[in-house]
Amino acid sequence: MGAVADAALNKGGQVVGVITRLLQNRELEHKGVSSLHVVETMHERKMMMANMADAFIALPGGLGTLDELFEILAWAQLGIHSKPVGLLNTSGYYDLLGGFLDHVEKESFLRLQHRTAMIYSGDPVDLIEKLAVH
């Protein structure tokens, strides 16, 4: 996240940070963001980010990324939001996840409309363009 924030800031972009007090106390906050919101819980953090977002992009990441991705997907399935969701599939990072979600859909635990709503691309510019027209 820090590298993405640095790149945006270096190009004159605005970066809004949302961090829990616990993580801030561990000195994990980015000192250069345009604005920083400090919340108490991870749920509050995810809710605030979701409310501020126009779309969602999951970069390759670990459990925290997957947690945020699946919560956003579940909220979309429940009709809480209708914002586009993209996965930056760098070097095929999300290929296995895509295969698993195909399996979940075939087993009737995921509706096809929710499965096909996820936008994949290995190219960041292409992904943003696809999200913009979604």
What's the confidence (pLDDT) of residue 123? 97
* Cα–Cα dist 69/72, whole Å: 5
What's the confidence (pLDDT) of residue 71? 94
When the candidates are 1.10.3210.10, 3.40.50.300, 3.40.50.450, 3.40.50.11860, the CATH number that belongs to 54-134 is: 3.40.50.450
Q: What is the pTM of this model?
A: 0.87
Query: Residues 95, 101, 107, CA angle at the centre, nearest 5°?
Result: 145
Terminal CA-CA length for the chain: 24
* Cα–Cα dist 18/32, whole Å: 13
> Could you read off the pLDDT tens digit of each residue along the chain, which spans 134 residues?
889 999 999 999 999 999 999 988 887 788 899 999 999 999 999 999 999 999 999 999 999 999 999 999 999 989 999 999 999 999 999 999 999 999 999 999 988 788 878 999 999 999 999 999 98
The CA-based dihedral angle spanning residues 84, 4, 13, 120, taken in that order and rounded to the nearest 10 degrees: -20
Query: Three-state SS string across the chain, please?
Result: CHHHHHHHHHCCCCCEEEEEHHHHHCCCCCCCCCEEEEECCHHHHHHHHHHHCCCEEECCCCHHHHHHHHHHHHHHHCCCCCCCEEEECHHHCCHHHHHHHHHHHHCCCCCHHHHHCEEEECCHHHHHHHHHHC
Q: Please state the domain extents for the chain.
A: 1-52, 54-134
